[in-house]
Amino acid sequence: MAMNRRKFLGAAAAGAALPSTVNIARAANRDTISIALAAAGPREADPNKTILGADNWATEQMFEQLVRPKDGMFGVREEDFVPTLAESWKSSDGARTWTFALRKGVKFHKGYGEMTSDDVVHSFDRARKGMNRANFFNVKEVVKDGDHSVVIRLNGPDPLFLGSSVFYNNASIVSKKADIEKGEGFSQDPVGTGPYELARFDQKSGIYVKAFDAYWGEKAKTPNLSILYISDTTARTLALLSGNADMIEAVRAPGWVDSMLKRDKTLKFDMTVPGSFNTLMINLTRKPFDDIRVRRALAHAMDQTTLATALTPMGGVVATINPPGFPAGFTKQQLPPELRYEHDINKAKDLLKEAGFPNGLDFESNCSQREDYSSTMLILQEQIRPAGFRMKLNMMDHTAFHAANRNDLNTLAMNSSSYPPIPTRVYIDYLSSEANATKDGKGGQNYSHYGVVTPGIDDQLKQALNATTYDEYLKICQSIELQVQRDLPAIGLSTLSYTIARNSRVDVGYDVKSGYARWRLHRATAA
C-alpha cells in the first residue's frame, strides 16, 4: 500500500488535533476524488479478467458496454436500459437475434481510433473465451453488419438478453487494435471508451484515472479519480475520518456503521439493496460433504436469521439462492417444510450420526480476511460447532482467497457477489457445469462442482434460457431453486448491502438504490 497504516495513523492524529487544517487541504484538491477499497493491490484492469471487486471499480470508469441501466439501478426489461455504445437495438426471431446500431464517432482512449463493429465482435469473442465465459454460452455468433452495426444470434431465445449478458463486465468493449498490440500487457494498460482513461496502474497502491477529453458523452465532472487499495480496516477507516480518502468501501461487519456515525455524524452511506448474495458453496468432491446427509446436517445447524441480524443494517435474510423479493426467490415460509431446514441442532446431530459421524467431524476451510467474509464465516463457525461441525478457518488475503477458490482449494467457500433480478445469472455463475472450477484456475465459480460430479441443473437452465414467456421462465427458475434446496450444493447465507461510506462534501450525482458492487463516478463532485 502506498498509504500505509502508519501514515494514516499519523494523518488521523493530525486531523484530530487540527481539523480545520485537514479541511483546507482537501478543499484545495477538488480536482481529485479518492476512493479506498478493501483489497491489497490491483490485480487486473482488463474487464474480461477481473476477479476482484475492487478491480471492477476501475474498469467501471474506463469501459462501457453496448447498453447500461440508469445510474444507481439494475436493469431487467429493455426499457430499463439506456443507449450507450449502441444508439439503438432491436430483437427478432423470438428474441433469438439482437441487432445493435453502434454509436458513430466514439473514440478509444490513447489515440486508438474510432470504435467500429470489428471492436465489438472482437470484444464478444474474447468474452466468450475468457473468464466467466459461461455467461455467454447462449451466444451462437456475433457478426458485423457494416462498420456500425452488429448482429448477435443466440442458441435460444432470451428476452432479458440486455441484462443477462450485454450489460456484463466481461462484455465491455475493448479496442481490438490495442488488445492485439499489447497482449498480456493489456491487463495493466487497458484501452476502453469510458469517461475516464488510465493514468497510472500501480500494483502496490492502486489505479489512477483521468477524465477522457474525447469522451463521446457527458464529460466527467471531476478530472481525476484515485482508486486506492487499502485492505487494512483501521487504515481505511482512518483514511476517511482524516480526509485522506473521500469515499471508502465500508467494513461490512456487525456494528461498524453505528460506530462510524458516533465518530462523525455527517458521514453518508450509500447502500445497494439487496446487495451482495452471500452464498456458501459446498465442495462435493471433498468427503464427507459428498454425502447429502452431511449437507443437510450443515443446513440444519445454520441459523440464517441470526447471520443477517448480526449484520444490521446491511444484512438481509435469505432462504434459497436468490433472495426473497427477487424473481424465483423464496421466503422460508414459502418453501415446502422439508426444504426449510429450520435451525435444529439435534436434528443436525442425528443426521451426522446417521452419516457415520456420531462424534462430529473436523475439517478446514479457507476464508477471506475481509470483514464481510470473516465476520460471516466466524459466526457460522460458532453456529455449526454445537452440531459437531468443527471447522478450522484459514484466514487469507482477499486476493489470495479468490485465487485459491478458482484453483479448487476450498471445502466450504463463501462467495459474495451482487446480481440483478435475473435468476439465471447466479445459476450460470455458481451452479452450471460450464462454470466448473478447475485446478488450473481457468474455470469459473462453480466451486461445488454441481452438475459435474452429480446431476445438476444444466437441463433446467437450458429450458429457462429457452423459455418463450416470462411466466414459463419464472416457473423453471423456481424449480431450480427447489432442486438446489434438495441437493444442497450451495446454501444462501444472507444478503449484504454493498456499502460505500463517504464524506458529506462528496456528491455522487445520483441516488444509489441497487446495482452491482461498483458504480460510476462520472457525475461525482467534491465541494
pLDDT tens per residue, range 37-72: 998 889 889 998 887 888 999 999 999 999 999 999
Q: pLDDT tens-digit profile of 480-520?
A: 999 999 999 999 999 999 999 999 999 999 999 999 999 99
Q: Is the pLDDT score of 9 beyond 80?
A: no
Where are the extended beta strands (E) located within 244-327? 247-249, 268-271, 276-282, 315-316
pLDDT score recorded for residue 24: 34
Task: Give 107's DSSP letter.
Answer: B
pLDDT score recorded for residue 86: 98
Q: pLDDT tens-digit profile of 215-227?
A: 999 999 999 999 9
pTM of the model: 0.83
pLDDT band at 28 (very low <50, low <70, confident <90, very high): very low
- Interval 405-426 mean pLDDT: 94
363 torsion bin: left (phi>0), alpha (psi -120 to 50), beta (else): beta
Q: Is the pLDDT score of 251 beyond 60?
A: yes
Which has more pLDDT, 266 or 4?
Answer: 266
Residue 380 and residue 302 in contact, taking contact as beta carbons nearer than 8 Å:
yes
Q: pLDDT tens-digit profile of 275-307?
A: 999 999 999 999 999 999 999 999 999 999 999
The torsion angles phi and psi of 186, rounded to 5 degrees, stand at -60, -30
pLDDT band at 29 (very low <50, low <70, confident <90, very high): low
Residue found under cell 462520472: 522
Whole-number Å distance between alpha carbons of 436 and 438: 6
pLDDT score recorded for residue 133: 81
Q: Is the pLDDT score of 193 beyond 90?
A: yes
- Interval 67-81 mean pLDDT: 92
Count of C-beta atoms within a 10 Å radius of residue 329: 23
Q: Is the pLDDT score of 148 beyond 90?
A: yes
Residue 172 and residue 123 in contact, taking contact as beta carbons nearer than 8 Å:
yes
Which has more pLDDT, 5 or 207?
Answer: 207
Burial 290-315 (b: 16+ CB within 10 A, else e): ebebbbbbbbbbbbbebbbeebeebb
Which has more pLDDT, 418 or 121?
Answer: 121
pLDDT score recorded for residue 137: 85
pLDDT band at 6 (very low <50, low <70, confident <90, very high): very low
pLDDT score recorded for residue 22: 37
Q: Is the pLDDT score of 183 beyond 90?
A: yes
pLDDT score recorded for residue 304: 95
